[in-house]
A and B are shown apart, each in its own frame.
Chain A
Amino acid sequence: MSIPDISSAASAIALAMLSVALLLAFIRLARGPTLPDRVVALDLISILTAGTTAVFAIAAEQPVFLDVALVLALISFLGTVAFARYLERQGFNE
């Protein structure tokens, strides 16, 4: 196996694993009996998406995807914190 093949094989496997992880997170998102469960699932989904984008940066040999991952991580953090503040103030009516 030549070197670029190792890299593309590894990124393919990594993408497959990340997709399965995303699927599992979606299961929790759909099932999660309480609202905080869903918030945790969403947080996980955004981090996993950022990870997928980073793997894609390697697969497509385009470093610009790394910036996408950075911004995703930033925004997901803000979103989670906003949810948490709202949750704490409001309680929830489920």
Chain B
Amino acid sequence: MNEILSSVLMLIGATFALLAGAGVVRMPDLFTRMQAATKASTLGIGCIILAVAVHFGELGITTRALATIIFVILTAPVAAHMIARAAYFVGVPLWDGTIIDELHGHYDRRTHKLARPDDPLATLPMTVDLKRLTGQTVLVGYGRVGRRIGEALIANAVSIVVVEDNREIVEGLREKNVPAVFGNASEPGVLIQAHIHKASMLVIATPDSAEARRMARIARAVNPRIEIVVRTHSEEEAVLLEKEISGKVFMGEHELAIAATRYVLERYAVGR
């Protein structure tokens, strides 16, 4: 019985070790290689040493085997982290397929310290209830359009997170207990602060189409199923955006025309 168990454990461990080797050769950049190497090999060696303990069955050997496993599990992640950190600072190139480098701009290149901008408005405070940060609507821009959308959504008890690049507006919103992040939403770090990866909808109420495209691209990359609503003021942009973003595009003049027409028609219906 012991033999069968230890043989199975040994083979499982060897399989993971083989996967680690395959991973380290096949993965496209340093960081992915390191993931494959350290994770799989730690598990592999853990299984193999467990197999040794099971095989011999004596107390002294089992104790030493457990000590080895605990040691490897404690130290392998630390070593991996240090290599990754050193490699990142040295400037090892990331894989071409990398979509977002979340650490970019956060580290002081000289002292290697985390240089978090001393800006409490740029990050959501820890006091925000996590329930409001899942399935929420991210509203970019709280100006003439965004404010009306935001107020209506709040009145309808839809949880929103606002991204604005006007500090006073962000402060005002926070006073009213609406989660708000200060920053330019076309930067990935800012949208991520608004928890875009867990959001169910993104409403872009700012008028710039180029920025809107960038925001939509970031959002889709991080959260492929998010629904996107965009504001625009030009017919050509509307056509382009609908194709590129696969979201709902609202064109200012168009909506105005629809609302005015509806009013006129209602007035005629009432007058009759």
Task: Describe A's contact surface by its main secondary structure.
Answer: helix
Task: Describe B's contact surface by its main secondary structure.
Answer: helix
The answer to whether B30 touches A37, judged by C-beta atoms less than 8 angstroms apart, is yes
- By size class, the interface of chain A is 35 or more
Asked if B90 is at the interface of the complex by the 8 Å CB criterion, the answer is yes
The answer to whether A81 touches B10, judged by C-beta atoms less than 8 angstroms apart, is no
- By size class, the interface of chain B is 35 or more
Given known pairs A7-B3, A87-B90, the reply for A55 and B14 (CB within 8 Å) is yes
The answer to whether A58 touches B51, judged by C-beta atoms less than 8 angstroms apart, is yes
Per CB-CB distance, the 7 closest pairs between chain A and chain B, nearest first, are A21-B21, A24-B21, A10-B7, A84-B82, A36-B87, A14-B14, A88-B86
Q: Would you list 6 pairs from A and B whose C-beta atoms are within 8 A, ordered by A residue?
A: A24-B18, A37-B33, A44-B37, A74-B71, A80-B82, A88-B85
Interface residues of A (CB under 8 A from B): 3-4, 6-7, 9-11, 13-15, 17-18, 20-25, 27-28, 34-37, 39-41, 43-44, 47-48, 50-51, 54-55, 57-58, 63, 66-67, 69-70, 73-74, 77, 80-81, 83-85, 87-88, 91-92
Interface residues of B (CB under 8 A from A): 3-4, 6-8, 10-11, 13-15, 17-18, 20-22, 24-25, 30, 33-34, 37-38, 41-42, 44-45, 48-49, 51-52, 55-56, 58, 61, 64-65, 67-68, 71-72, 75-76, 78-80, 82-83, 85-87, 89-90, 92, 112
